[in-house]
Amino acid sequence: MRCTVVGAGAWGTALADLLATNGCDVRLWAFEHDVADAINERHENPRFLPDTRLAPTVRATSALGEALAESTLVVFAVPSAHLRRVAHAAAGWIEPAAILAVATKGIEQGTLALMTDVIEAEAADRPVVAISGPSFAVEVATRQPTAVVAASRDVVAAQAVQETLSSSTFRVYTHDDVIGVELGGSLKNVMAVATGIAEGVGLGFNSRAALITRGLAEMTRLGVALGGQAATFAGLAGLGDLVLTCTGALSRNRAVGLAIGRGATLEQALAGKETVAEGVETARSARELAQREGVEMPIVETVHRVLFENYPAHNSVISLMSRELRAEQDA
Amino acid sequence: MRCTVVGAGAWGTALADLLATNGCDVRLWAFEHDVADAINERHENPRFLPDTRLAPTVRATSALGEALAESTLVVFAVPSAHLRRVAHAAAGWIEPAAILAVATKGIEQGTLALMTDVIEAEAADRPVVAISGPSFAVEVATRQPTAVVAASRDVVAAQAVQETLSSSTFRVYTHDDVIGVELGGSLKNVMAVATGIAEGVGLGFNSRAALITRGLAEMTRLGVALGGQAATFAGLAGLGDLVLTCTGALSRNRAVGLAIGRGATLEQALAGKETVAEGVETARSARELAQREGVEMPIVETVHRVLFENYPAHNSVISLMSRELRAEQDA
């Protein structure tokens, strides 16, 4: 079967490699010509997924129409800030019967839409599946055992994505809670920034574990307010991805937090980086959602203050860690 | 007020130091004379909590009667295998009105009793409080911000422990789910062994995050079957402590798993160590509890097989990671 991955960042490239290894005829759309050329000529993506040899059958192109022709599964993996315009441009080229999967994590600025909402709006009347879970792209590319979820209101579409993406080292579980799965993957990036800030100001493992626990609680509160299921946040797309991003190899989001915790400004922390720190923008949109829904999110609030309101990192984190004593269930 | 800590391992020593810093008159019972001497003469515990200067007001003794006289709060912090005999020996010396707190984590071999059950049986008719949560002793001793829970069926006793132990860097939340809090603290040690084994056979961060997520799910299943609350496992004593032990500095339990994952026998992995790896014995008792309650615990089962039934670590972990595909909610 013909599959298309839209976006040749680390995650899109790893997914394309996975699909090709599973026997799909894969087209990978790359925004940058040099990335497409490197993939076609040398089977590597030195800019976004260095030191990884890709399946030689992955064909890259910078032409959306060429990438999408005859494709029955389209996986979107562009940064959240670009998803709407790329989906809009792609819509006319997508086959009417194609299943659309979304691997992008984030909440759209302004509209506060989830990524599947964006895709549904721009390429209507096709089943949409969210892919999320603890999955560093480089580990997926090197065949480290990984487990993710494919969530959709259309169970047949979720199962189709499960069957197409699964391999002996990449397990895909189906899920029906799209809202919970998407919010888990988005909000954990804010928690990763928070964890980085805490590390940067010198806090240890005990603090980090408490922060992760509190972080999952406030993610769950917002998710439930928006119609998600609490149990989803205890699963791979919630807890799993949160733990990965806050404790695994230094993620982009945690690195930004770390720099700020050590005294850098947001501009300094973001300067000169090739990849996107989704958590920075998600801190804005998550805070807006929390305010709209009347949900208390002290960690999101603290990250927002430190990133955008010039509150000092050290004092903000310490005051977050020493909120008034009470029963844990009420905290 | 006079407080006693029974057990001068890393955790007992850190708690004694914390209580003394909070202004309590602290007696610390040490099994080993040399530990008591070092604490009294040099205000340090080089054997169990090296490189940490203790409050000079901590008084250590190897005489239980001396340690317990006139004490209104007694904190037990001995290894789980010794708790019953130490509590039995101590019972006659404990003031009738004392509050008993239990910082030991584990499930008793044979009886499958929780640590608070052991204390209730051996020193009856006093309120019992379980202390648990993500708290590396060395970080508590160095005043890193830490948050734990104090759980009791007696809310006044839980609040008394909260007030006595809390400081600006050590936050204590009260809780009413003793079973959930105790099981969280015990079972996470088995998950830490599992995480170590996975690391030892070469698995990466994605696998670890999936394992932690699945681990919390099976801990919660057993906890609910035994009368605990699911929400407790999403809190500090469940998720928080699980994340700390599986991802923080190398814990004793994770180190044992790591050695076994790399090919050592259990005997080799345990040899020559001063501290106890509670997770090894808890793997036995947790498996017995799971079988008794009819709860599926594939990770506990796998750890048991690798530790005690000579199953090869690599194949066991890989087969655990590739269980049959299905919906996440059913997994």
- Pair type for strands A99-102 and A73-76: parallel
Residue B321 to residue A206, Cβ atoms within 8 A: no
Rg (CA), chain A: 19
Residue A206 to residue B134, Cβ atoms within 8 A: yes
Residues of A in Cβ contact (< 8 Å) with B166? 325
pLDDT of residue A97: 94
Q: What is the CB neighbour count within 10 angstroms for residue A254?
A: 27
**Cα–Cα distance measured from residue B184 to residue B194, given in angstroms and rounded to the nearest whole number:** 15
Least Cα distance to B289 among B227, B213, B212 occurs for B227
For residue B103 the two structure tokens come to 């910082």
Residue from B143, B154, B205 whose CB has the most chain A CBs within 10 Å, to mutate: B205
pLDDT of residue A273: 75
**Cα–Cα distance measured from residue A302 to residue B42, given in angstroms and rounded to the nearest whole number:** 42
Residues of A in Cβ contact (< 8 Å) with B217? 234-235
Average of per-residue pLDDT across B8-20: 98
Q: What does the pLDDT look like over B252-265, one tens digit per residue?
A: 899 999 999 999 99
Residue A145 to residue B318, Cβ atoms within 8 A: yes
Residues of A in Cβ contact (< 8 Å) with B234? 213, 216-217, 220, 234
Give the mean pLDDT of chain A: 95
Indicate the residue of A146, A149, A213 with minimum beta-carbon distance to B235. A213
pLDDT band at A327 (very low <50, low <70, confident <90, very high): low
| AA letter at A233 | F
Enter the DSSP assignment of A322. Answer: T
Enter the DSSP assignment of A145. Answer: -
Average of per-residue pLDDT across B79-86: 96
Residue B205 to residue A244, Cβ atoms within 8 A: yes
Report the residue of chain A nearest B214, measured CA to CA.
Answer: A235
The nearest CA of chain B is from the CA of A32 a distance in Å of 28
Indicate the residue of B133, B145, B217 with minimum beta-carbon distance to A234. B217
pLDDT of residue B273: 75
Is residue A325 over pLDDT 60?
no
Which long-range contacts (C-beta less than 8 Å, at least 24 apart) are formed by B115-120?
Answer: B115/B76, B115/B80, B115/B83, B115/B182, B116/B178, B116/B182, B118/B83, B118/B84, B118/B87, B119/B76, B119/B83, B119/B87
| AA letter at A217 | A
Rg (CA), chain B: 19
Residue from A15, A212, A213, A320 whose CB has the most chain B CBs within 10 Å, to mutate: A213
- Say what percent of chain B tops pLDDT 90: 91
pLDDT band at A249 (very low <50, low <70, confident <90, very high): confident
Q: What does the pLDDT look like over A165-199, one tens digit per residue?
A: 999 999 999 999 999 999 999 999 999 999 999 99
- Say what percent of chain B tops pLDDT 70: 98
Residue B322 to residue A149, Cβ atoms within 8 A: no
Residue B173 to residue A241, Cβ atoms within 8 A: no
Least Cα distance to A175 among B276, B258, B328 occurs for B328
Is residue A323 over pLDDT 80?
no
**Cα–Cα distance measured from residue A255 to residue B315, given in angstroms and rounded to the nearest whole number:** 35
Q: Are A63 and A89 in contact (CB under 8 A)?
A: no
The nearest CA of chain A is from the CA of B322 a distance in Å of 7
Q: Are A225 and A293 in contact (CB under 8 A)?
A: yes
Average of per-residue pLDDT across A253-275: 91
**Cα–Cα distance measured from residue B221 to residue B244, given in angstroms and rounded to the nearest whole number:** 21
User: Cα-flanking dihedrals φ and ψ of residue B69, to 5°?
Assistant: -60, 130
Residue A212 to residue B329, Cβ atoms within 8 A: no
Q: Are B220 and B230 in contact (CB under 8 A)?
A: yes
Residue A327 to residue B213, Cβ atoms within 8 A: no
Average of per-residue pLDDT across B135-160: 97
Is residue A48 over pLDDT 70?
yes
Report the residue of chain B nearest A181, measured CA to CA.
Answer: B328
DSSP H helix total and E strand total for chain A:
16, 8
Least confident of A72-81, A158-167, A287-296, A314-323: A314-323
Q: Are A286 and A297 in contact (CB under 8 A)?
A: yes
Indicate the residue of B173, B318, B322 with minimum beta-carbon distance to A326. B173
Average of per-residue pLDDT across A122-132: 96
Residue from B155, B181, B206 whose CB has the most chain A CBs within 10 Å, to mutate: B206
Report the residue of chain B nearest A229, measured CA to CA.
Answer: B329
pLDDT of residue B277: 85
Is residue B276 over pLDDT 80?
no
Which residues of A belong to the active site? 188
Indicate the residue of B147, B207, B213 with minimum beta-carbon distance to A235. B213
Q: Which residue has the tokens 């940058």?
A: A32
Residue A236 to residue B217, Cβ atoms within 8 A: no
pLDDT of residue B86: 98
Q: What does the pLDDT look like over B46-57, one tens digit per residue?
A: 999 999 999 999
Residue B244 to residue A209, Cβ atoms within 8 A: yes
Residue from A143, A153, A156, A206 whose CB has the most chain B CBs within 10 Å, to mutate: A206
Indicate the residue of B136, B171, B326 with minimum beta-carbon distance to A173. B326
As a residue count, chain B comes to 331
**Cα–Cα distance measured from residue B45 to residue B37, given in angstroms and rounded to the nearest whole number:** 9
Indicate the residue of A171, A241, A326 with minimum beta-carbon distance to B325. A171
pLDDT of residue B330: 66
Residue A149 to residue B247, Cβ atoms within 8 A: no
Average of per-residue pLDDT across A127-138: 97
Q: What is the CB neighbour count within 10 angstroms for residue B19?
A: 26
For residue A215 the two structure tokens come to 């972080």
Kind and range of the H or E run holding B306: helix B298-308
pLDDT of residue B326: 65
For B183-204, give the DSSP string. HHHHHHHHHHHHHHHHHHTT--
Q: What does the pLDDT look like over A57-108, one tens digit per residue?
A: 999 999 999 999 999 999 999 999 999 999 999 999 999 999 999 999 999 9
Is residue B266 over pLDDT 70?
yes
Report the residue of chain B nearest A331, measured CA to CA.
Answer: B173
For residue A163 the two structure tokens come to 């069957």
The nearest CA of chain B is from the CA of A33 a distance in Å of 31
Least Cα distance to B230 among B239, B240, B221 occurs for B221
For residue A210 the two structure tokens come to 């408490």
Note the helical H segments in B96-165: 115-122, 137-141, 155-165
Average of per-residue pLDDT across A227-242: 96
Average of per-residue pLDDT across B153-159: 97
Average of per-residue pLDDT across A298-307: 96
Average of per-residue pLDDT across B97-122: 96
**Cα–Cα distance measured from residue B246 to residue B321, given in angstroms and rounded to the nearest whole number:** 17
B173 Cβ contact partners less than 8 Å away, ≥ 6 residues apart: A325, A326, A327, A328, A331, B147, B148, B149, B150, B162, B236
pLDDT band at A328 (very low <50, low <70, confident <90, very high): confident
Q: Are A192 and A253 in contact (CB under 8 A)?
A: yes
- Pair type for strands A146-151 and A128-132: antiparallel
**CA dihedral of A26, A30, A33, A39, whole degrees rounded to 10:** -40
**Cα–Cα distance measured from residue A256 to residue A189, given in angstroms and rounded to the nearest whole number:** 11
**Cα–Cα distance measured from residue A36 to residue A38, given in angstroms and rounded to the nearest whole number:** 6
Is residue B130 over pLDDT 90?
yes
- Say what percent of chain A tops pLDDT 70: 98
- The active-site residue out of B27, B84, B126, B188 is B188
Residue B149 to residue A173, Cβ atoms within 8 A: no
User: Which comes out higher in pLDDT, residue B326 or B287?
Assistant: B287
- Say what percent of chain A tops pLDDT 90: 91
User: Cα-flanking dihedrals φ and ψ of residue B210, to 5°?
Assistant: -65, -40
- Give the three-class secondary structure for B237: helix
Q: Are B254 and B307 in contact (CB under 8 A)?
A: no
Q: Are B270 and B276 in contact (CB under 8 A)?
A: no
Is B188 an annotated catalytic residue?
yes
Is residue B327 over pLDDT 80?
no
Residues of B in Cβ contact (< 8 Å) with A209? 134, 236, 240-241, 243-244, 248
Q: What does the pLDDT look like over A134-155, one tens digit per residue?
A: 999 999 999 999 999 999 999 9
Least confident of A137-151, A247-261, B50-64, B91-105: A247-261
Least confident of A277-286, B221-230, B318-327: B318-327
pLDDT band at B248 (very low <50, low <70, confident <90, very high): confident
Residue B206 to residue A173, Cβ atoms within 8 A: no
Average of per-residue pLDDT across A31-49: 97
Residue A213 to residue B134, Cβ atoms within 8 A: yes
Indicate the residue of B142, B205, B325 with minimum beta-carbon distance to A136. B205
For residue A100 the two structure tokens come to 């659309």
Q: Are B78 and B106 in contact (CB under 8 A)?
A: no
Give per-residue burial for B20-51: e unless 16+ CB within 10 Å, then b. Answer: bbbebebbbbbbeeebbebbeeebbbebbbee
Indicate the residue of B139, B162, B216 with minimum beta-carbon distance to A239. B216
pLDDT of residue A285: 96
**Cα–Cα distance measured from residue A61 to residue A50, given in angstroms and rounded to the nearest whole number:** 19
The nearest CA of chain A is from the CA of B9 a distance in Å of 18
The nearest CA of chain A is from the CA of B231 a distance in Å of 8
Residue from A203, A207, A220, A328 whose CB has the most chain B CBs within 10 Å, to mutate: A328
**Cα–Cα distance measured from residue B107 to residue B266, given in angstroms and rounded to the nearest whole number:** 20
Kind and range of the H or E run holding B1: none
pLDDT band at A131 (very low <50, low <70, confident <90, very high): very high
Q: Are A134 and A108 in contact (CB under 8 A)?
A: no
pLDDT band at A331 (very low <50, low <70, confident <90, very high): low
